Amino acid sequence: MAKKTAKRNTKRINFALQGGGSHGAFTWGVLDALLEDGRLSPDGISGTSAGAMNAVALVDGWVRDGADGARQSLHDFWRAVSRNGRFSPVQRTPLDVMWGNWNLDYSPTYRTYDLMSRVFSPYDLNPLDINPLREIVERQIDFDRVHDCSDIKTFISATNVWNGKPRVFMPHELSADIVMASACLPSVFKAVEIEGEPYWDGGYGGNPVLYPFFYDTEASDCLLVQINPIERRRTPKTAMEIQDRVNEITFNAGLLREFRAIEFVRRLKEDGRLDNTRYRTIRMHRIAADAVVEELSASSKINAEWSFLQYLFEMGRAAAEDFLDQSFEAIGKRSTLDLSEELSADILPDRKSVGQHVRDAMKRMQGGKTRG
Protein backbone atom coordinates (compact mmCIF):
# COMPACT_ATOMS: atom_id res chain seq x y z
CA MET A 1 0.00 0.00 0.00
CA ALA A 2 1.72 3.11 -1.24
CA LYS A 3 -0.02 5.83 0.72
CA LYS A 4 -0.22 6.40 4.44
CA THR A 5 -3.72 6.97 5.76
CA ALA A 6 -4.58 10.65 5.95
CA LYS A 7 -5.08 12.16 9.41
CA ARG A 8 -7.86 14.73 9.58
CA ASN A 9 -11.19 15.48 11.21
CA THR A 10 -13.55 12.60 10.64
CA LYS A 11 -17.26 11.89 10.41
CA ARG A 12 -18.59 8.83 12.18
CA ILE A 13 -20.61 6.42 10.06
CA ASN A 14 -21.88 2.84 10.10
CA PHE A 15 -20.81 0.40 7.40
CA ALA A 16 -23.27 -2.25 6.16
CA LEU A 17 -21.42 -4.88 4.13
CA GLN A 18 -23.21 -7.35 1.90
CA GLY A 19 -22.08 -10.88 1.19
CA GLY A 20 -21.34 -12.25 -2.26
CA GLY A 21 -18.36 -14.60 -2.29
CA SER A 22 -15.38 -13.32 -4.25
CA HIS A 23 -17.37 -10.21 -5.14
CA GLY A 24 -16.59 -9.17 -1.58
CA ALA A 25 -13.24 -8.01 -2.98
CA PHE A 26 -15.19 -5.02 -4.37
CA THR A 27 -16.08 -4.18 -0.75
CA TRP A 28 -12.42 -4.58 0.18
CA GLY A 29 -11.58 -1.92 -2.41
CA VAL A 30 -14.29 0.40 -1.08
CA LEU A 31 -13.07 0.04 2.50
CA ASP A 32 -9.44 0.50 1.46
CA ALA A 33 -10.20 3.80 -0.26
CA LEU A 34 -12.34 5.09 2.62
CA LEU A 35 -9.73 4.15 5.21
CA GLU A 36 -6.95 5.71 3.16
CA ASP A 37 -8.93 8.93 2.72
CA GLY A 38 -9.45 9.11 6.46
CA ARG A 39 -12.49 11.39 6.56
CA LEU A 40 -14.95 8.61 7.51
CA SER A 41 -14.49 6.62 10.69
CA PRO A 42 -16.59 3.49 11.34
CA ASP A 43 -18.80 3.57 14.40
CA GLY A 44 -20.39 0.19 13.68
CA ILE A 45 -20.05 -2.51 11.03
CA SER A 46 -22.73 -5.03 10.11
CA GLY A 47 -21.60 -7.82 7.83
CA THR A 48 -22.94 -10.99 6.26
CA SER A 49 -20.93 -13.79 4.61
CA ALA A 50 -18.05 -12.13 2.72
CA GLY A 51 -19.16 -8.89 4.38
CA ALA A 52 -18.64 -10.56 7.75
CA MET A 53 -15.12 -11.56 6.73
CA ASN A 54 -14.33 -8.03 5.59
CA ALA A 55 -15.73 -6.72 8.88
CA VAL A 56 -13.63 -8.87 11.21
CA ALA A 57 -10.50 -8.39 9.07
CA LEU A 58 -10.95 -4.61 9.27
CA VAL A 59 -11.51 -4.61 13.04
CA ASP A 60 -8.60 -6.96 13.70
CA GLY A 61 -6.23 -4.66 11.81
CA TRP A 62 -7.78 -1.52 13.33
CA VAL A 63 -6.88 -2.69 16.84
CA ARG A 64 -3.28 -3.34 15.74
CA ASP A 65 -2.61 -0.09 13.88
CA GLY A 66 -5.70 1.99 13.25
CA ALA A 67 -6.83 2.57 9.68
CA ASP A 68 -3.48 1.56 8.21
CA GLY A 69 -3.57 -1.71 10.12
CA ALA A 70 -7.13 -2.32 8.87
CA ARG A 71 -6.05 -1.79 5.27
CA GLN A 72 -3.15 -4.19 5.68
CA SER A 73 -5.34 -6.81 7.36
CA LEU A 74 -7.89 -6.66 4.55
CA HIS A 75 -5.14 -6.98 1.94
CA ASP A 76 -3.61 -9.96 3.73
CA PHE A 77 -6.95 -11.69 4.06
CA TRP A 78 -7.82 -11.46 0.37
CA ARG A 79 -4.28 -12.39 -0.65
CA ALA A 80 -4.65 -15.55 1.46
CA VAL A 81 -7.97 -16.30 -0.25
CA SER A 82 -6.30 -16.06 -3.68
CA ARG A 83 -3.39 -18.27 -2.67
CA ASN A 84 -5.78 -20.90 -1.41
CA GLY A 85 -7.86 -20.61 -4.60
CA ARG A 86 -4.92 -21.73 -6.74
CA PHE A 87 -5.53 -25.29 -5.54
CA SER A 88 -9.24 -25.31 -6.31
CA PRO A 89 -10.33 -27.81 -8.98
CA VAL A 90 -12.79 -25.21 -10.26
CA GLN A 91 -10.89 -22.89 -12.60
CA ARG A 92 -11.59 -20.84 -15.72
CA THR A 93 -11.14 -22.57 -19.05
CA PRO A 94 -8.20 -21.47 -21.26
CA LEU A 95 -10.67 -19.77 -23.64
CA ASP A 96 -12.23 -17.79 -20.76
CA VAL A 97 -8.75 -16.69 -19.71
CA MET A 98 -7.93 -15.70 -23.29
CA TRP A 99 -11.12 -13.65 -23.71
CA GLY A 100 -10.97 -12.08 -20.25
CA ASN A 101 -14.19 -13.76 -19.06
CA TRP A 102 -14.18 -13.96 -15.26
CA ASN A 103 -17.15 -16.35 -15.06
CA LEU A 104 -16.77 -20.08 -14.50
CA ASP A 105 -19.94 -21.12 -16.32
CA TYR A 106 -18.02 -23.17 -18.90
CA SER A 107 -15.73 -24.86 -16.42
CA PRO A 108 -16.50 -28.61 -16.56
CA THR A 109 -15.76 -29.03 -12.84
CA TYR A 110 -18.02 -26.09 -11.94
CA ARG A 111 -20.90 -27.46 -14.00
CA THR A 112 -20.44 -30.93 -12.56
CA TYR A 113 -20.39 -29.69 -8.97
CA ASP A 114 -23.34 -27.36 -9.59
CA LEU A 115 -25.40 -30.24 -10.94
CA MET A 116 -24.42 -32.59 -8.12
CA SER A 117 -25.24 -29.97 -5.47
CA ARG A 118 -28.81 -29.87 -6.78
CA VAL A 119 -29.15 -33.63 -6.36
CA PHE A 120 -27.00 -34.41 -3.32
CA SER A 121 -26.66 -32.50 -0.05
CA PRO A 122 -23.33 -31.42 1.48
CA TYR A 123 -23.89 -34.18 4.02
CA ASP A 124 -23.47 -36.59 1.07
CA LEU A 125 -20.82 -34.74 -0.96
CA ASN A 126 -18.74 -33.30 1.87
CA PRO A 127 -19.24 -35.57 4.91
CA LEU A 128 -16.05 -34.28 6.58
CA ASP A 129 -17.32 -30.69 6.16
CA ILE A 130 -14.05 -29.48 4.66
CA ASN A 131 -14.08 -25.70 4.16
CA PRO A 132 -10.79 -24.06 3.15
CA LEU A 133 -12.18 -20.64 4.09
CA ARG A 134 -12.34 -21.68 7.73
CA GLU A 135 -8.59 -22.27 7.78
CA ILE A 136 -8.02 -18.82 6.27
CA VAL A 137 -10.28 -17.09 8.80
CA GLU A 138 -8.68 -18.91 11.72
CA ARG A 139 -5.18 -18.12 10.48
CA GLN A 140 -5.73 -14.50 9.46
CA ILE A 141 -8.07 -13.15 12.16
CA ASP A 142 -7.20 -12.73 15.84
CA PHE A 143 -10.64 -12.78 17.46
CA ASP A 144 -9.23 -11.73 20.82
CA ARG A 145 -8.35 -8.42 19.18
CA VAL A 146 -11.81 -8.21 17.64
CA HIS A 147 -13.33 -8.68 21.10
CA ASP A 148 -11.07 -5.96 22.53
CA CYS A 149 -12.00 -3.31 19.95
CA SER A 150 -13.77 -0.44 21.69
CA ASP A 151 -13.78 1.94 18.71
CA ILE A 152 -15.96 -0.12 16.36
CA LYS A 153 -19.01 -2.23 17.17
CA THR A 154 -19.17 -5.29 14.93
CA PHE A 155 -22.38 -7.20 14.19
CA ILE A 156 -22.40 -10.48 12.27
CA SER A 157 -25.66 -12.17 11.28
CA ALA A 158 -26.55 -15.77 10.49
CA THR A 159 -29.90 -17.45 9.84
CA ASN A 160 -31.25 -19.94 12.37
CA VAL A 161 -32.18 -23.08 10.41
CA TRP A 162 -34.85 -24.17 12.89
CA ASN A 163 -36.91 -20.97 13.03
CA GLY A 164 -35.74 -19.07 9.94
CA LYS A 165 -34.96 -15.93 11.95
CA PRO A 166 -31.76 -13.91 11.70
CA ARG A 167 -29.56 -13.84 14.75
CA VAL A 168 -27.14 -10.99 15.22
CA PHE A 169 -23.96 -11.90 17.07
CA MET A 170 -22.45 -9.15 19.18
CA PRO A 171 -18.73 -8.16 19.24
CA HIS A 172 -17.83 -10.18 22.34
CA GLU A 173 -19.38 -13.34 20.82
CA LEU A 174 -17.53 -13.34 17.51
CA SER A 175 -15.49 -16.35 16.48
CA ALA A 176 -14.46 -18.28 13.39
CA ASP A 177 -17.54 -20.49 13.87
CA ILE A 178 -19.85 -17.49 13.75
CA VAL A 179 -18.18 -16.04 10.67
CA MET A 180 -18.46 -19.43 8.94
CA ALA A 181 -22.11 -19.68 9.97
CA SER A 182 -22.73 -16.29 8.38
CA ALA A 183 -21.20 -17.61 5.13
CA CYS A 184 -22.74 -21.10 5.18
CA LEU A 185 -24.49 -21.79 1.88
CA PRO A 186 -26.74 -24.79 2.60
CA SER A 187 -26.16 -26.41 -0.79
CA VAL A 188 -22.39 -26.38 -0.26
CA PHE A 189 -21.68 -26.78 3.47
CA LYS A 190 -23.26 -28.43 6.48
CA ALA A 191 -25.09 -26.09 8.84
CA VAL A 192 -22.78 -24.59 11.46
CA GLU A 193 -23.84 -25.27 15.03
CA ILE A 194 -23.68 -22.41 17.52
CA GLU A 195 -24.77 -23.17 21.09
CA GLY A 196 -26.44 -26.36 19.87
CA GLU A 197 -28.49 -24.69 17.11
CA PRO A 198 -27.79 -24.89 13.35
CA TYR A 199 -27.16 -21.77 11.23
CA TRP A 200 -27.01 -20.99 7.53
CA ASP A 201 -25.91 -17.94 5.57
CA GLY A 202 -26.99 -14.66 7.13
CA GLY A 203 -28.17 -13.40 3.74
CA TYR A 204 -31.46 -15.25 4.11
CA GLY A 205 -32.44 -13.05 7.05
CA GLY A 206 -30.70 -9.81 6.08
CA ASN A 207 -27.90 -9.00 3.67
CA PRO A 208 -26.81 -7.35 5.89
CA VAL A 209 -29.00 -6.51 8.88
CA LEU A 210 -29.27 -2.79 9.67
CA TYR A 211 -31.34 -2.68 12.85
CA PRO A 212 -28.40 -3.08 15.31
CA PHE A 213 -27.32 0.39 14.21
CA PHE A 214 -30.61 1.83 15.46
CA TYR A 215 -29.99 0.68 19.03
CA ASP A 216 -26.28 0.07 19.55
CA THR A 217 -24.38 2.82 17.74
CA GLU A 218 -24.34 6.60 17.95
CA ALA A 219 -23.88 7.40 14.26
CA SER A 220 -27.07 8.16 12.33
CA ASP A 221 -25.46 7.74 8.91
CA CYS A 222 -25.23 4.29 7.33
CA LEU A 223 -23.21 3.43 4.22
CA LEU A 224 -24.40 0.28 2.47
CA VAL A 225 -21.83 -1.43 0.25
CA GLN A 226 -24.13 -3.38 -2.05
CA ILE A 227 -22.77 -6.13 -4.29
CA ASN A 228 -26.06 -7.93 -5.02
CA PRO A 229 -28.15 -5.84 -7.45
CA ILE A 230 -31.73 -5.18 -6.41
CA GLU A 231 -32.76 -4.58 -10.01
CA ARG A 232 -31.67 -6.23 -13.25
CA ARG A 233 -33.32 -4.98 -16.42
CA ARG A 234 -33.35 -8.30 -18.23
CA THR A 235 -35.26 -11.53 -17.84
CA PRO A 236 -33.19 -14.63 -17.05
CA LYS A 237 -33.73 -17.41 -19.58
CA THR A 238 -31.41 -20.30 -18.74
CA ALA A 239 -31.85 -22.52 -15.68
CA MET A 240 -28.61 -21.16 -14.21
CA GLU A 241 -29.61 -17.53 -14.80
CA ILE A 242 -33.02 -18.14 -13.22
CA GLN A 243 -31.47 -19.69 -10.11
CA ASP A 244 -28.94 -16.86 -9.83
CA ARG A 245 -31.70 -14.23 -9.97
CA VAL A 246 -33.86 -16.10 -7.45
CA ASN A 247 -30.91 -16.07 -5.05
CA GLU A 248 -30.34 -12.33 -5.57
CA ILE A 249 -34.01 -11.56 -4.89
CA THR A 250 -34.02 -13.79 -1.80
CA PHE A 251 -30.84 -12.25 -0.42
CA ASN A 252 -32.13 -8.69 -0.91
CA ALA A 253 -35.59 -9.29 0.60
CA GLY A 254 -34.53 -8.65 4.21
CA LEU A 255 -32.66 -5.50 3.22
CA LEU A 256 -35.74 -4.12 1.45
CA ARG A 257 -37.86 -4.76 4.55
CA GLU A 258 -35.47 -2.67 6.60
CA PHE A 259 -35.48 0.05 3.95
CA ARG A 260 -39.26 0.22 4.38
CA ALA A 261 -38.98 0.53 8.16
CA ILE A 262 -36.39 3.33 7.89
CA GLU A 263 -38.56 5.18 5.37
CA PHE A 264 -41.69 4.76 7.51
CA VAL A 265 -39.92 6.27 10.50
CA ARG A 266 -38.67 9.17 8.39
CA ARG A 267 -42.21 9.89 7.19
CA LEU A 268 -43.65 9.78 10.68
CA LYS A 269 -41.00 12.13 12.01
CA GLU A 270 -41.52 14.45 9.05
CA ASP A 271 -45.23 14.58 9.89
CA GLY A 272 -44.53 15.18 13.58
CA ARG A 273 -46.26 11.94 14.54
CA LEU A 274 -43.32 10.21 16.16
CA ASP A 275 -41.39 10.92 19.36
CA ASN A 276 -38.12 12.54 18.24
CA THR A 277 -36.41 11.60 21.48
CA ARG A 278 -37.03 7.88 20.98
CA TYR A 279 -36.59 7.37 17.23
CA ARG A 280 -33.71 8.54 15.08
CA THR A 281 -33.78 9.42 11.43
CA ILE A 282 -31.28 7.14 9.70
CA ARG A 283 -29.46 8.79 6.82
CA MET A 284 -28.78 6.14 4.18
CA HIS A 285 -25.96 6.17 1.65
CA ARG A 286 -24.87 3.52 -0.82
CA ILE A 287 -21.94 2.41 -2.91
CA ALA A 288 -23.20 -0.21 -5.37
CA ALA A 289 -21.32 -2.67 -7.53
CA ASP A 290 -24.16 -2.89 -10.07
CA ALA A 291 -22.12 -1.71 -13.05
CA VAL A 292 -19.26 -4.05 -12.14
CA VAL A 293 -21.28 -7.23 -11.57
CA GLU A 294 -23.75 -6.67 -14.42
CA GLU A 295 -21.85 -9.04 -16.72
CA LEU A 296 -20.72 -11.39 -13.96
CA SER A 297 -22.68 -14.55 -13.22
CA ALA A 298 -22.97 -16.24 -9.84
CA SER A 299 -20.18 -18.63 -10.85
CA SER A 300 -17.67 -15.78 -10.62
CA LYS A 301 -18.37 -15.59 -6.88
CA ILE A 302 -16.10 -18.60 -6.41
CA ASN A 303 -13.37 -17.28 -8.73
CA ALA A 304 -10.50 -16.54 -6.35
CA GLU A 305 -7.80 -15.66 -8.90
CA TRP A 306 -5.66 -12.79 -7.65
CA SER A 307 -6.09 -10.91 -10.93
CA PHE A 308 -9.88 -11.06 -10.55
CA LEU A 309 -9.78 -9.99 -6.91
CA GLN A 310 -7.48 -7.11 -7.85
CA TYR A 311 -9.89 -6.06 -10.60
CA LEU A 312 -12.80 -5.99 -8.15
CA PHE A 313 -10.62 -4.20 -5.60
CA GLU A 314 -9.75 -1.43 -8.06
CA MET A 315 -13.40 -1.08 -9.09
CA GLY A 316 -14.34 -0.77 -5.42
CA ARG A 317 -11.71 1.89 -4.83
CA ALA A 318 -12.90 3.88 -7.83
CA ALA A 319 -16.53 3.67 -6.66
CA ALA A 320 -15.54 4.83 -3.16
CA GLU A 321 -13.56 7.77 -4.52
CA ASP A 322 -16.57 8.81 -6.63
CA PHE A 323 -18.80 8.53 -3.56
CA LEU A 324 -16.50 10.74 -1.50
CA ASP A 325 -16.33 13.34 -4.26
CA GLN A 326 -20.08 13.47 -4.73
CA SER A 327 -21.53 12.70 -1.31
CA PHE A 328 -19.09 13.38 1.51
CA GLU A 329 -20.54 16.80 2.34
CA ALA A 330 -24.02 15.28 2.72
CA ILE A 331 -22.93 12.86 5.44
CA GLY A 332 -24.26 14.07 8.77
CA LYS A 333 -26.84 16.26 7.02
CA ARG A 334 -29.03 14.23 4.66
CA SER A 335 -29.40 10.89 2.93
CA THR A 336 -27.92 10.39 -0.52
CA LEU A 337 -29.92 7.19 -1.07
CA ASP A 338 -33.58 8.01 -1.73
CA LEU A 339 -35.43 5.12 -0.15
CA SER A 340 -38.85 6.26 -1.37
CA GLU A 341 -37.55 6.08 -4.93
CA GLU A 342 -35.77 2.80 -4.21
CA LEU A 343 -38.94 1.17 -2.93
CA SER A 344 -41.27 2.92 -5.41
CA ALA A 345 -44.60 4.57 -4.60
CA ASP A 346 -46.71 1.44 -5.08
CA ILE A 347 -44.86 -0.30 -2.24
CA LEU A 348 -45.00 2.45 0.36
CA PRO A 349 -48.23 2.97 2.34
CA ASP A 350 -50.29 6.13 2.31
CA ARG A 351 -49.66 8.61 5.11
CA LYS A 352 -52.89 7.74 6.96
CA SER A 353 -51.80 4.16 7.55
CA VAL A 354 -48.08 4.72 7.94
CA GLY A 355 -48.21 4.54 11.74
CA GLN A 356 -49.57 1.01 11.74
CA HIS A 357 -47.12 -0.01 9.02
CA VAL A 358 -44.11 1.20 10.98
CA ARG A 359 -45.28 -0.62 14.10
CA ASP A 360 -45.68 -3.82 12.09
CA ALA A 361 -42.29 -3.32 10.44
CA MET A 362 -40.52 -2.77 13.75
CA LYS A 363 -42.10 -5.95 15.13
CA ARG A 364 -40.90 -7.90 12.09
CA MET A 365 -37.41 -6.48 12.44
CA GLN A 366 -37.24 -7.41 16.10
CA GLY A 367 -38.32 -10.95 15.22
CA GLY A 368 -34.59 -11.50 14.63
CA LYS A 369 -33.18 -10.84 18.08
CA THR A 370 -29.92 -9.17 18.89
CA ARG A 371 -28.41 -11.32 21.61
CA GLY A 372 -25.52 -10.56 23.85
Q: pLDDT digit string (tens) for 44-54?
A: 999 999 999 99
Tell me: pLDDT of 5 over 70.
Answer: no
| Mean pLDDT, rounded, of the chain | 88
Tell me: pLDDT of 142 over 60.
Answer: yes
Averaged pLDDT, 133-153: 96
Tell me: pLDDT of 335 over 80.
Answer: yes
At residue 241, the pLDDT reads: 83
Tell me: pLDDT of 294 over 80.
Answer: yes
pLDDT tens digits, 250-285: 888 888 889 888 888 888 877 777 666 667 789 999
At residue 319, the pLDDT reads: 97
User: Bigger pLDDT: 178 or 294?
Assistant: 178
Tell me: pLDDT of 357 over 70.
Answer: no
Helical segments of 120-175, H only:
122-125, 132-140, 143-148
**What pTM, to 2 d.p., does this model score?**
0.88
β-bridge partners, 168:
157, 370
Whole-Å CA distances, 337 to 79, 187, 224:
32, 34, 10
pLDDT band with cut points at 50, 70 and 90 for residue 8:
low
Tell me: pLDDT of 231 over 90.
Answer: no
pLDDT tens digits, 191-220: 999 999 999 999 998 899 999 998 899 999
At residue 232, the pLDDT reads: 85
Tell me: pLDDT of 230 over 90.
Answer: no
- Helix H or strand E encompassing 315: helix 306-327
pLDDT band with cut points at 50, 70 and 90 for residue 363:
low
348/341 Cα distance (integer angstroms): 10
Tell me: pLDDT of 346 over 50.
Answer: no
Averaged pLDDT, 46-64: 97
Tell me: pLDDT of 358 over 70.
Answer: no
At residue 117, the pLDDT reads: 85
At residue 360, the pLDDT reads: 56
Who's near 107: CB < 8 A, 6+ residues apart? 90, 91, 92, 93, 96, 299
Report whether 254 contacts 207 (CB < 8 A). Answer: yes
At residue 299, the pLDDT reads: 92
Who's near 55: CB < 8 A, 6+ residues apart? 15, 17, 45, 46, 47, 154, 156
User: Bigger pLDDT: 352 or 86?
Assistant: 86
User: Bigger pLDDT: 322 or 350?
Assistant: 322
pLDDT band with cut points at 50, 70 and 90 for residue 347:
very low
